[in-house]
Amino acid sequence: MSESDDLAARRRMVDEQLRERDITDARVLEAMMTVPRHLFIPPESRHFAYSDGPLPIGQRQTISQPYIVALMTQLLELVGTETVLEVGTGSGYQAAVLARLARQVYTVERSAELAGLARQVLERLEVENVAVSQGDGSRGLPEFAPYQGVVVTAAAPRVPRPLLDQLDLEGRLVLPVGGRDGQILERWRRDGKDFRVERIVPVAFVPLIGEHGWADDEGECRWI
Ligand code: SAM
């Protein structure tokens, strides 16, 4: 596809998959319009880059459906001044979207291979406000806390306590919580010492594997 084909496909994605649903934050729509999603997708599936679904990225992992990326991002209510933590870098696509909307993004990936590939694409795109690290993101990244926004792009059996503790006083945490076969997307808000949770929509994510997630990754690979 030529650059203008990619742009047209991205415009259709934004108009038909995002605007026509409930993505109303103009900054989120603009970021989704700008980030070249196809560059985060392995060459063999690149022609599906702007389709309305998740895609495999290797290591039995996925890049999420564009709508889910936009929804989770919108739920963070970013204005541009925030430090954001993403758990589950995967392809690096959501981190690149967040980078356009926040001051600084830290993203953690369990797979060293995926973390390396994501770093390469982000470097190629000259995204300078994303730092990719490799490790168990279910523990958060205490060295850069507090975060005004935290997003977890893998399914947790329950909300990891370290992620709540690393939230800033009015911070938002967005994550899928539930069983391995299906979860509810939740948004947690910190209000001083208290937390409020809203349940947004049913989803199906790959599991968060780690100390505050699931114990192993023997389960089926699911495409979300
Ligand atoms: N946000 C990604 C993107 O834009 O491509 C999609 C993420 S994919 C649905 C979920 C990712 O979470 C996988 O790459 C998986 O390896 C990663 N993951 C699972 N458990 C993790 C953990 N404890 N810490 C960090 N990453 C984890």
Per-residue pLDDT tens digits for 5-29: 999 999 999 999 999 999 999 999 9
193-211 per-position pLDDT tens digit: 899 999 999 999 999 999 9
Residue 94 counted as domain residue = yes
Predicted confidence (pLDDT) at residue 41 exceeds the cutoff of 50: yes
80 φ, ψ to 5°?
120, -10
d(CA 88, ligand 1 centre) in Å: 3
Q: Bridge-partner residues for 188, per DSSP?
A: 173, 197
Residue 214 counted as domain residue = no
CB 184 within 8 A of CB 176: yes
Residue nearest atom 14 of ligand 1, based on CA coordinates: 90
Residue 45 counted as domain residue = no
Residue 59 counted as domain residue = yes
64 is catalytic: yes
Predicted confidence (pLDDT) at residue 73 exceeds the cutoff of 70: yes
| Predicted pLDDT at 100 | 98
Instruction: Tell me the mean pLDDT in the region 107-121.
Output: 98
CB 132 within 8 A of CB 118: yes
Residue 115 counted as domain residue = yes
- Domain of residue 179, CATH code: 3.40.50.150
Name residue, tokens 């997708």: 41
Residue 26 counted as domain residue = no
Residue 212 counted as domain residue = no
Percent of the chain with pLDDT over 90: 91
Out of 4, 45, 51, 64, pick the active-site residue: 64
Q: Tally the domains of the chain.
A: 1
Residue 79 counted as domain residue = yes
Report the residue among 38, 40, 45, 61 best suited for mutation to probe ligand 1: largest number of ligand atoms under 8 A from its CB.
61
d(CA 154, ligand 1 centre) in Å: 6
Any residues with Cβ below 6 Å from ligand 1, and which? 61-64, 87-88, 90-91, 93-94, 108-111, 114, 136-138, 153-154, 205-206, 208-210, 213, 224
Please give the residue range of the domain that contains residue 105. 52-203
**What does pTM read for this prediction?**
0.96
| Predicted pLDDT at 219 | 47
| Predicted pLDDT at 224 | 44
CB-based burial, 116-135: b 16+ in 10 Å, e otherwise: ebbbebbeebebebbebebe
